[in-house]
Every structure is written in structure tokens, then in C-alpha cells.
């Protein structure tokens, strides 16, 4: 970890990375420097052959308020801003890298998630959120549309009507409602956030890493496959898993009525 992190905290333990967005005074809003920090952390993780998971959360009272609009310098009178550069150079690569990471990415939304902060959370494979958290598609408030993959994630997770309602009117969606809709995996009490995070971290570190990666690959591919194509992919992936040490250990543990000791191999 040669990179000096300015706006995130990053650690790696037991094969599990942990990124904490760390600009609490600005609700962890995203800047160029924060993007650079996250890129460096992902560079490290992608180079590991023992990677077993990644956890993403925020510091302070919020998860992420989206793009830091204060970082954008005022333009001369009459000049208009091209917003595509930040999306193309920062957000699109980040979302795609999280999706392509060959290990589960679990987000813990510890407070408000707004704008691109919602898109960042939904780019992760699983999302936990505390009861006090809120998801706000705030783009319409400044004359914009959801981006950073947000339109894709909302439509896939909750359907057209809910995606449109949340996006057009920018109304906050509570963590409880987000769980009911299927936008997130679980809504948890605020006071158990730390314990739940540590439990998930331990589970990732001890889990069948290759099986997790194959499951992630197959489920994301399913939307673009016919049934026959999907079964072909399942067959290919399951064949490879059947040759792993973890499968042998899983079968032995099942026969011996004990918990398996997976190594990720």
C-alpha cells in the first residue's frame, strides 16, 4: 500500500478489504482526490490472489452525499459545463470495477446516501443500511438526471414506477422502505452497525471465495442470457467449482457434520 490515502481509510485483513469514505464534514461527498484514493485501493485489491471480499462504508453521520459540487470552479458568464468528463473518467470506471471485482462487495450505508452516493452504494453486490439511513435521488433538484449507473441499478432492483418516482420527485426513500422494495439487502438497527459489519467481514474471510465469485458472475450475466445460455454458463462455472479444494472440503465437512474450513482455493 504505497499510496498515501487522503480522503478514505483503507485496510486489508484476512483477504477482505475495507474502504471507509472519510470526508465526514462534507458527508463524504466525492472529489477528484477521493476518486484517486479509491482507484489506488482497487489497484491493490485487484492485484491480490487472496482477495475474499470488500466492504465499503462512510465515516461520520452519512454514507455519501454524491459529487462535491463545491469542487467545481465557477465558470465565466455564459459558459456551460460539460459534465461528461467526470462521469467518463471517474464514476463509470469505479462502478464497473466494483462490479467486475471477483469477490463480493458489501456496502454499509451508515446514514444519508444522495445523488451519486446512491449509485455508488448500488454498484456494490449487497447493501446493508441502518434504520436512520435515507436514499435520495437528488439530481432533479439541480436540473439533472441520475447517473453513475443509477438508472440501471434502480430499474433492475425496484422496477420502473418506483425508479421513476424516486428519480423524478427526489423524495427520500427510508432504509425500511428500501428493504421492502428490494433496493437493499437488509435494514439493520443503527446500534448494531459495527457488529454486523464485523460479522460480514468474518463471513467473507471464511467463505468459499471461488463459489462467491462464480455466483456473482452468473447472476449478473442472467439478465442478458436466454435460459439455455444461462444454463450453459452454470454448467461451465459449476464444473470449475467441482475441481476446487473448497468443494472437497465442503463435502467432507458435510459428511462429518462440522463447519467447513474454506481456503478460497
Three-state SS for 252? helix
Domains of the chain: 8-205 (3.90.226.10), 208-256 (1.10.12)
Within 13 A of 76's CA, how many CA atoms are on the CB side? 1
Q: Which residues of 25-39 are buried (b: 16+ CB within 10 A; e: fewer)?
A: ebbbbbbeebbbbbe
Distance CA 234, CA 228 (A): 10
Q: Can you say whether the dihedral through the CA atoms of 168, 67, 38, 193 is positive or negative?
A: negative
Residue pair 218/231 in contact (Cβ under 8 Å)? The answer is no
Distance CA 260, CA 1 (A): 32
Strand bridging mode 53-58 / 126-130:
unpaired
pLDDT in 10s for each residue of the chain, 265 residues: 678 999 999 999 999 999 999 999 999 999 999 999 999 999 999 999 999 999 999 999 999 999 998 777 776 787 777 889 899 999 999 999 999 999 999 999 999 999 999 999 999 999 999 999 999 998 999 999 999 999 999 999 999 999 999 999 999 999 999 999 999 999 999 999 999 999 999 999 999 999 999 999 999 999 999 999 999 999 999 999 999 999 999 999 999 999 999 998 8
Say what the pLDDT of residue 1 is.
61
Residue pair 172/20 in contact (Cβ under 8 Å)? The answer is no
Distance CA 47, CA 42 (A): 8
Say what the pLDDT of residue 187 is.
98
pLDDT in tens, 129-171: 999 999 999 899 999 999 999 999 999 999 999 999 999 999 9
Strand bridging mode 8-13 / 186-188:
unpaired
CA 186 from chain centre, in angstroms, equals 14
Amino acid at each position: 500500500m504505497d499510496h498515501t490515502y487522503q480522503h478514505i481509510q483503507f485496510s486489508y485483513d484476512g483477504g477482505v478489504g475495507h474502504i471507509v469514505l472519510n470526508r465526514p464534514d462534507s458527508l463524504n461527498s466525492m472529489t477528484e482526490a477521493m476518486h484517486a484514493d479509491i482507484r489506488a485501493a482497487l489497484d491493490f485489491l485487484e492485484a491480490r490472489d487472496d482477495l475474499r471480499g470488500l466492504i465499503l462504508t462512510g465515516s461520520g453521520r452519512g454514507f455519501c452525499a454524491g459529487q462535491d459540487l463545491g469542487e467545481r470552479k465557477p465558470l465565466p458568464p455564459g459558459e456551460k459545463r460539460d459534465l461528461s468528463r467526470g462521469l467518463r473518467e471517474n464514476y463509470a470506471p469505479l462502478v464497473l470495477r466494483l462490479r467486475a471485482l471477483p469477490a463480493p462487495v458489501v456496502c454499509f450505508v451508515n446514514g444519508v446516501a444522495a445523488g451519486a452516493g446512491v449509485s455508488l452504494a448500488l454498484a456494490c453486490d449487497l447493501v446493508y443500511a441502518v434504520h436512520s439511513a435515507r436514499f435520495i435521488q437528488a439530481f432533479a433538484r439541480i436540473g439533472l438526471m441520475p447517473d453513475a449507473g443509477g438508472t440501471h441499478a434502480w430499474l433492475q432492483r425496484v422496477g420502473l414506477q418506483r425508479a421513476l418516482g424516486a428519480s423524478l420527485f427526489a423524495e427520500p426513500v427510508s432504509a425500511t422502505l428500501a428493504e421492502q422494495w428490494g433496493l437493499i439487502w437488509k435494514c439493520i438497527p443503527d446500534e448494531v452497525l459495527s457488529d454486523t459489519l464485523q460479522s460480514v467481514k468474518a463471513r467473507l474471510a471464511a467463505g468459499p471465495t471461488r463459489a462467491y465469485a462464480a455466483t456473482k458472475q452468473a447472476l449478473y450475466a442472467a439478465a442478458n442470457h436466454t435460459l439455455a445460455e444461462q444454463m450453459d454458463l452454470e454448467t461451465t462455472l459449476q464444473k470449475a467449482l467441482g475441481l476446487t479444494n473448497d468443494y472437497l472440503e465442503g463435502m467432507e465437512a458435510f459428511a462429518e457434520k462440522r463447519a467447513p474450513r474454506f481456503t478460497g482455493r
